[in-house]
Structure 1
């Protein structure tokens, strides 16, 4: 865990990949808050242990602000059973869309590893353990904006239109000149390459506008949902990437190319070879097509089956279970 501003700490997972989210701790002499949580009880316990090292005597973490309802930002709140869990009212829609923790555990452990979906779930989610994780229910839900304080530190919580998910929010800490963006931003830098963004709700214009809201706060430090901490220039680079994906999705849709094939074409263009998990473009471009078509959101397992199919096409010779130091799959020599 690293100090990034006055009484503000960030917990950055040591590798990239699905489910490895950034989390924040804001402390004071009287109270403390988490901004997002790790994915499973093991990781959440590690974050809690590191948090306690930085708390004043007698202080506990009594609030959890959840930037959105994906499990990798929410489910770890179970290690703080007495904490107030804050989310937007709209986030309930995404909670209902995802499997519960125990359903997801059964799915990952019980899927056929010979199938594309079973192989993919095992490779990317098999490291997590939700066998005893109960669903987390927000205890304070709001719409619009919410003003809080952690000790003397003001906390401005800003709800957003549907973007990464239904019910996203950003957390602005004006005293620290910092913003937690959640998965509005998947960060990457030359020194620390990240993964392709994945967006379940959209449209991409809402994601781009949300990045603009991050810049509008005037913050100098931006903690993304995944990847390295960014400055303002890094956010602008991310906006440019989103605009590229948006332009290609619209052009391919206008040409009559189906969404799955459009994702394959954008992947093949290789615009950002440094980014991992290019198969996630299946989700993002599929979401954009739904807004262009006016079609309904498909079941999450149908989407992930398409993601897995494209991932297997991209890495047909991948050796199951072998990973490099940064967590990426290892291919045969």
Structure 2
């Protein structure tokens, strides 16, 4: 089961990052911008307990009387948005396009009921309990944005300008990035999943795509000139790390297109890319089923399947890979014992 601990630290004058120290589903990075008696959050943790911890750490560094008045949500996945309920009076800001993803995802109550009702002996139930069983959404109301926009939004937190830019469909149908030009810092949301040699991350998962849009978003992040990159998950990145991530995305896109042209199904293409093992340090390779499946939908012009069907495919592949690894280990142990 996923464990939960987070590091809250200053990354620039008036800018803080709240970063879970484990990798895995649902453990998103969040940000705080504070200056001159004003404060803004960038994303929120997945459930009220984690969000309460982020809020306590936030209040510990704010000047007396300062409250978090606004929350900018980079996209509408629950692990970046559902913790907003701990700040009921804050203005919640996201893209107009994010409303489509809110309609696609289950509500917190629906997700909790689904998790509670699944059989842990089945692939899907075992997978969801392993990766999401540490979260608690009971009593969490649906989160509704107060302000939506398309294009560019200029905000200020005291003397700190905050440039918020919506993106074409990429990780979801409604992503945005947050650039703090006077702090040389950018928050990427999940158009970037962080990984470094010192702290490897997980394979990205992209629901909307196409991957060309995700790559363009990374190039747009580089164009900001920011030196500090806060990805949606994983460690802080440098510009060199960001370029490396673009290389990963191009590899997955190019292999998906080549395998599609060769007649492979999306599932066959995902398994092929996983078996090529170009990025062995990354966890959760089953997520390539989603990302490559998304790319295939753009190539074929088909609609996305139901969320639970997608999760079921990932769960089945993860279980197959776990069993295959166990069989290989057992075979190796037997060979050593009889040698």
Query: TM range, normalised to the smaller chain?
Result: over 0.9
2:149 pairs with 1:139:
no
Residue 116 (structure 1) aligns with: 123
Alpha-carbon distance change, 191 to 5 in structure 1, aligned in 2, over 3 angstroms: same
Could you say what secondary structure the match of 1:302 adopts? helix
Query: How large is the Cα RMSD of the aligned pairs?
Result: 1.1
**Aligned match for 2:78, one of 55, 67, 71:** 71
Q: TM-score, normalised by structure 1?
A: 0.95
2:180 pairs with 1:173:
yes
Residue 63 (structure 2) aligns with: 56
Deviations 1:51-109 (A, max 9, x none): 00110110011110000000000000010000000000000000011100010011112
Structure-1 separation of matches of 2:264 and 2:270:
10
- How far apart are residue 33 of structure 1 and its match? 0.4
Structure-1 separation of matches of 2:281 and 2:42:
28
Could you say what secondary structure the match of 1:288 adopts? helix
What 5-or-longer segments of structure 1 have no aligned partner? Answer: 320-332
Q: Which structure's CA Rg is the greater one? A: 2
Residue 53 (structure 2) aligns with: 46
Partners of 1:36 and 1:66 within 8 A in 2: yes
Deviations 1:215-251 (A, max 9, x none): 1111111100001101111100000000000011001
2:87 pairs with 1:99:
no
- How far apart are residue 317 of structure 1 and its match? 7.3
Structure-2 separation of matches of 1:179 and 1:242:
19
Greater helix proportion: 2
Partners of 2:36 and 2:158 within 8 A in 1: yes
**Aligned match for 1:258, one of 265, 275, 283:** 265
The 5-angstrom pairing of residues 300-315 of structure 1 reads 300-315=307-322
Partners of 2:36 and 2:157 within 8 A in 1: no
Deviations 1:172-223 (A, max 9, x none): 0011110000000001000000000100000000000000110111111110
- How far apart are residue 298 of structure 1 and its match? 1.1
Length, aligned pairs only: 320
Residue 185 (structure 1) aligns with: 192
Q: TM-score, normalised by structure 2?
A: 0.93
Residue 21 (structure 1) aligns with: 28
Structure-1 separation of matches of 2:169 and 2:303:
15
2:302 pairs with 1:295:
yes
The 5-angstrom pairing of residues 226-241 of structure 1 reads 226-241=233-248
Could you say what secondary structure the match of 2:208 adopts? coil
**Aligned match for 2:218, one of 211, 217, 222:** 211
Runs of 4+ with deviation above 6 angstroms: none
What 5-or-longer segments of structure 2 have no aligned partner? Answer: 1-7, 327-332, 334-339
- Which stretch of structure 1 is more off in the superposition, 107-116 or 56-65? 107-116
2:20 pairs with 1:3:
no
Partners of 2:185 and 2:226 within 8 A in 1: yes
2:289 pairs with 1:282:
yes
- How far apart are residue 29 of structure 1 and its match? 2.2
Deviations 1:253-290 (A, max 9, x none): 00111101111111111111110000000000000000
Structure-2 separation of matches of 1:26 and 1:60:
11
